[in-house]
């Protein structure tokens, strides 16, 4: 496999039905032709993802976005005016041309226009949108660098397009509509408050739709080492003094003889910086032999909500 900057070679590979590692501003994706069932099947296979978990279509223009959907709510128009290109995915009724394999048989398609110069340049060279889930094997941590994609897939992927470190570092926020009301399906890199400033309060998914709701696999984004959440890190360190610990904090540093790795996500206490560093920090704990990772609960506002969502999922134990 090659980490490459050669966009034209990558475009050719995609036109021939191939799969690549794609940089975006959120996380890297595993991308292929979103209108080609065979390419979609190859993505599911590579990711080892159940076919019941649908993929996002990445578009390079509004025209392309509208070619995929049968209806376009007025609020969708408002949101894309404010936030596209950017880390916002919209779930809208799909058109016939969208393969059932992309949406796992559901009647809505997830669409976003990524805000990354390399991704946009690539999309500009292609006559089709790109299906792309995050470029991690099922249930593992999403990659925020080309090197991490390489570490996951090696020779199984012909190209990873180099796009630097992802500047957002967590996945897009997903919004859809139920009975005309906007619903937040996945908290993400675009804070809920910013969306609400444009279209008003968001609803939470009805429980009947929760099964098919996005990013909702219970355990997700998880390091191999067991992780727990704590409001009071100092106290939790005391409670686990016989164990080899990793600590993930917002801004403070903690020390004790049994802390083998200390990761604080933003010395300045900046939530955007913390989100950007989150996945690489989680990944780094698996480089050390630890018994337990203690992660601090973040403030429940803005990107803090997104970080807490990911940490809660990382703390779910496999049955």
Q: Which residues bind ligand TXA (CB under 6 A)?
A: 24, 26-27, 29, 53-56, 87, 89, 91, 103, 106, 108-110, 114, 132-134, 171-172, 174, 212, 214-215
Cis link prior to 85 (omega < 30° from 0)? yes
Q: Which does 24 bind (CB under 5 to 8 A by kind): Mg ion, ligand TXA, none?
A: ligand TXA
Residues within window 226-245 making contact with Mg ion, judged by CB under 5 A: none
Q: Which does 163 bind (CB under 5 to 8 A by kind): ligand TXA, Mg ion, none?
A: none
**Nearest distance, CB of residue 127 and ligand TXA, angstroms:** 20
Residue 135 vs 265, nearer CB to ligand TXA: 135
Whether the Cβ atoms of residue 285 and residue 190 lie closer than 8 Å to each other? no
Residue 160 vs 233, nearer CB to Mg ion: 160
Residue 214 vs 246, nearer CB to ligand TXA: 214
Residue 134 vs 145, nearer CB to Mg ion: 134
**Nearest distance, CB of residue 204 and ligand TXA, angstroms:** 15
Beta strands of the chain (E only): which ranges? 2-4, 20-22, 29-33, 56-58, 88-93, 108-112, 130-131, 159-161, 173-178, 181-186, 227-230, 245-249, 259-264, 292-296
Residue 28 vs 285, nearer CB to ligand TXA: 28
Q: What is the chain's length?
A: 319
Residue 116 vs 261, nearer CB to ligand TXA: 116
Give CA–CA dist 294/261, Å, rounded: 11
**Nearest distance, CB of residue 142 and Mg ion, angstroms:** 5
Q: Which does 21 bind (CB under 5 to 8 A by kind): Mg ion, ligand TXA, none?
A: none
Q: Which does 139 bind (CB under 5 to 8 A by kind): Mg ion, ligand TXA, none?
A: none
Residue 173 vs 236, nearer CB to Mg ion: 173
Q: Which does 23 bind (CB under 5 to 8 A by kind): Mg ion, ligand TXA, none?
A: none
Give me the half-sphere count of Cα atoms (radius 13 Å) on the Cβ side of residue 318.
Answer: 9
Give CA–CA dist 52/229, Å, rounded: 30
- The binding track of 96-135 with respect to Mg ion, each residue x by CB under 5 A or -, is --------------------------------------x-
Is 144 a binding residue for Mg ion by CB under 5 A? The answer is no
Q: Which residues contact 248 (CB under 8 A, 6 or more apart)?
A: 227, 263, 264, 265, 281, 282, 285, 293, 294, 295, 296, 311
Using DSSP's 3-state secondary structure scheme, residue 110 falls into strand
Q: Which does 53 bind (CB under 5 to 8 A by kind): ligand TXA, Mg ion, none?
A: ligand TXA
Q: How many CB atoms lie within 10 A of CB 208?
A: 8
Q: Which does 122 bind (CB under 5 to 8 A by kind): ligand TXA, Mg ion, none?
A: none
Give which of 213, 212, 255, 215 is closest to 233, Cα–Cα. 255
Residue nearest to Mg ion (CB): 134
Residue 126 vs 212, nearer CB to ligand TXA: 212
**Nearest distance, CB of residue 64 and ligand TXA, angstroms:** 15
Chain residues that interact with Mg ion, rule: CB under 5 A? 134
């Amino acid at each position: 496999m090659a980490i490459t900057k050669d966009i034209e070679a990558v475009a050719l590979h995609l036109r021939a039905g191939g799969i690549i590692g794609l940089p975006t501003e959120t996380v890297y994706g595993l991308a292929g032709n979103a209108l080609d069932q065979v390419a979609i099947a190859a993505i599911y296979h590579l990711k080892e993802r159940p076919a019941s978990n649908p993929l996002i279509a990445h578009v390079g223009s509004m025209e392309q976005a509208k070619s995929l959907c049968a209806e376009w709510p007025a609020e969708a128009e408002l949101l894309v005016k404010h936030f596209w290109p950017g880390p916002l995915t919209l779930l809208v009724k799909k058109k016939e041309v969208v393969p059932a394999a992309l949406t796992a048989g559901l009647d809505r398609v997830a669409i976003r226009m990524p805000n990354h110069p390399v991704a946009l340049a690539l999309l500009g060279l292609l006559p089709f949108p790109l299906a792309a889930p995050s470029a991690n094997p099922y249930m593992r941590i999403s990659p925020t660098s080309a090197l991490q994609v390489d570490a996951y897939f090696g020779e199984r992927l012909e190209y990873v397009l180099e796009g630097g470190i992802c500047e957002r570092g967590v996945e897009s926020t997903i919004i859809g509509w139920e009975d005309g009301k906007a619903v937040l399906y996945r908290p993400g890199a675009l804070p809920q408050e910013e969306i609400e400033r444009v279209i008003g309060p968001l609803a939470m998914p009805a429980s009947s739709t929760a099964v098919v709701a996005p990013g909702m696999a219970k355990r997700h984004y998880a390091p191999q080492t067991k992780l727990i959440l704590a409001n009071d890190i100092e106290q939790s360190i005391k409670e686990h003094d016989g164990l080899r610990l990793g600590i993930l904090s917002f801004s403070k540093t903690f020390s004790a003889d049994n802390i083998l790795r200390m990761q604080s996500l933003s010395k300045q206490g900046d939530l955007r910086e913390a989100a950007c560093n989150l996945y690489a920090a989680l990944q780094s704990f698996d480089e050390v032999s630890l018994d337990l990772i203690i992660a601090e609960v973040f403030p429940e506002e803005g990107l803090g909500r997104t970080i807490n969502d990911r940490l809660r999922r990382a703390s779910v134990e496999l049955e």
